[in-house]
Structure 1
Amino acid sequence: MKNIRILLVDDEDGFSSVLAKRLGRRAVDVTTAAGGEEALQCLDTELFQVVVLDMKMPGMNGLQVLRIIKNRYPQVEVILLTGNADMDSAVQAMTAGAFDFMLKPANTEILMNRIVDAARSSQILRDKAV
């Protein structure tokens, strides 16, 4: 699947810049945002198939951002990343509509495979909405 546009949301600059470079090498168009507010502004102005979202951020946490995204942009798939293996958070995220929930640091190949799956799902949702 070509031209996958993803929004990478993480408050850790080092993490997001490294991951953006790794994903960019795999022909993914990556935009980064440092937090929930910035991510929602990006979604208001640009079209993304997938949002890769950190769970713990200052201000709005990943779960809050996820709920807003699924409410405003139901065709956008969200993959949540977390540094803590918290089953309760994983269940809440999946219940709120997350496409997947992965531990940081995520293996880039596995994450890329999940992004491709999420982008396909996003396209199916878009096609149904037309």
Structure 2
Amino acid sequence: MRILLVDDEAELVSAMAERLAMRGMEADWAETGEQAMKMAVAKHYDVAVLDMKMPRIGGLELRRRLSELDAAMKFIFLSGHGSEEDFKLGSAEAESYLIKPVRIEDLVSKIREAAE
């Protein structure tokens, strides 16, 4: 299973990728929506874990663009800004919506559920 992690917090996203790799998941990461799009053109991902709030291309817009590339890709949103509106929008557009900081076990569980 290939996972694409996208978050503008480099330390967080790189640590998540490392922790997922330690659990047997192939996880690549990007800090921007533009970088994520380039990666998704070059490689297939089963699940994308997207931060809701990022500069230039936010999580919802990135989800739309990634879906155009690969209709089978599944999505999980992460947010540190847990507004009710973001929760409603994100929950409607993805398999899961998690609040940061997220426990790695919870993320792994949601990734596995999304990929099934």
Same fold (TM over 0.5): yes
Q: Which amino acid aligns with 1:114?
A: K
1:110 aligns with 2:106: yes
The Cα of 1:6 is off from its aligned counterpart by 0.2
Aligned residues: 116
Please point out which of 54, 62, 72 is paired with 2:69.
72
User: C-alpha displacement at 1:11, in angstroms?
Assistant: 1.1
Supply the distance in 2 between the matched residues of 1:8 and 1:47 (Cα, whole angstroms): 13
Deviates most, 108-117 or 65-74: 65-74
Normalising by structure 1, we get a TM-score of 0.84
Listed one character per residue, the Cα deviations across residues 75-125 of structure 1 (whole Å, up to 9, x for unaligned) are: 000101000111211211233x311110011111011000011112xxxxx
Tell me the equivalent position of 1:38.
35
SS at match of 1:42: helix
Larger Rg: 1
1:67 to partner: Cα distance: 1.6
TM-score, normalisation: structure 2: 0.94
SS of the residue corresponding to residue 14 of structure 1 reads helix
Deviation, 1:31, is 0.6
1:8-56 C-alpha deviation (Å, 9 max, x unpaired):
1111111011111111110000111111111111111101100011111
CA RMSD of superposed structures (Å): 1.1
Q: In structure 1, what residue type is equivalent to 2:50?
A: L
Unaligned runs of 5+ in 1: 121-130
Q: Say if 2:88 is the partner of 1:91.
A: yes
Instruction: Give aligned-pair identity as a percent.
Output: 34
